[in-house]
Amino acid sequence: MYELWARLFHRNMAWIITIAAVFFLFGCTAKEPASKPASDAEIVTISAAVSLKDAFTEIGELYKARSGGTVQFNFGASGVLQQQIENGAPVDVFASAGEKQMDNLAERHLIDAESRRDLARNSLVLIVPQPATVALSSFADLANANVKKIAVGNPKTVPAGQYASEALGNMGLEGKVAGKLILAENVRQVLDYVVRGEVDAGIVYSTDARQAGSKVSVVATADESTHSPIRYPIALITGSKNKDAGRRFIELVLSEDGQKVLQKYGFITTASPSATK
């Protein structure tokens, strides 16, 4: 009898231990994590021309306040951003300072063509540091012997540099200033060179000159006939993992509130007094 009870006891204990182990493991695996990571759908990634940095940063805050989502910005030269997208960078929306970069992506079917819109326009200006190192009153003065260094964006990757190259060529100045040009990686670097007095002059967008305030002076504005129209297209990337969030951001940029922010930073929009067809 004793041996029978002993065998039953040991058999039941084995079941009890097995069941306890199952409950223990289930409890460990079912436990909720201390903090849940943010959903990918809550984050929209925007690659945008660096000249849009100030305006887009403010629009990003507006987007966050209204949607609760987060905007992750990647600012840089439009040509460099284009190359990143072509190489598979995880981007939802692209905003370029030039049509060429957006056209190149469109040819490779990397943007949603139906989502493409022009968000604003800009103008090209000649600036000098304050105090100025040489006296300039026009683009033509760049050919003067006392002008040694002129900062421009690299035409290969920087739209502002492409427009500057067009303007100088159409003004008959390209050959006269070729040896004076200091190429920058983006338009804000051009601005920095001028602000620090490292060059005698620079060619930037009017919005960049405006941001520098009293640190630079605008000498002249390039006639629009001397270069291609400076339009800023924006579009959804076809490989976007957050298409709905991307569309909402584009809608906000194009909305009345978004356009007001762009006007605040000097961009020309359809509602701007200086806007023309």
Mean pLDDT on 50-75:
96
- Identify which has the larger pLDDT, 19 or 89: 89
Estimate to the nearest angstrom the gap between the alpha carbon of 268 and the chain centroid: 18
Q: Is pLDDT of 31 > 50?
A: no
Whether residue 158 contacts residue 186, with contact meaning beta carbons closer than 8 Å, is answered with yes
pLDDT range class, residue 26, cuts 50, 70, 90: very low
Burial of 276 (0-12, 13-18, 19+ CB in 10 A): exposed
Rg (CA), the chain: 29
- What is the predicted pLDDT for the residue at 28? 38
Whether residue 208 contacts residue 49, with contact meaning beta carbons closer than 8 Å, is answered with no
Mean pLDDT on 175-194:
97
Condensed to tens digits (0 to 9), the pLDDT of residues 185-242 reads 999 999 999 999 999 999 999 999 999 999 999 999 999 999 999 999 999 999 999 9
Residue 7 neighbours by CB under 8 Å, 6+ apart: none
Q: What is the mean pLDDT of the chain?
A: 87
Mean pLDDT on 238-260:
96
Q: Is pLDDT of 34 > 70?
A: no
| Residue with token string 């605008």 | 218
Whether residue 90 contacts residue 241, with contact meaning beta carbons closer than 8 Å, is answered with yes
Condensed to tens digits (0 to 9), the pLDDT of residues 109-155 reads 999 999 999 999 999 999 999 999 899 999 999 999 999 999 999 99
- What is the predicted pLDDT for the residue at 273? 55
- The neighbouring-strand residues paired with 95 are 48, 234
Mean pLDDT on 17-44:
44
Domains and CATH numbers, the chain: 40-121+231-264 (3.40.190.10), 124-226 (3.40.190.10)
Q: What is the DSSP secondary structure assignment for residue 254, as one 8-state letter?
A: H
- What is the predicted pLDDT for the residue at 272? 59
Q: In 10 A of CB 100, how many CB atoms?
A: 15
pLDDT range class, residue 36, cuts 50, 70, 90: very low
Q: How many CA atoms lie within 13 A of 151 on its CB side?
A: 24
Distance CA 164, CA 255 (A): 30
Mean pLDDT on 14-34:
39
Nearest to 77 by CA among 101, 105, 108, 112: 101
- What is the predicted pLDDT for the residue at 42? 76
| Residue with token string 């990634």 | 45
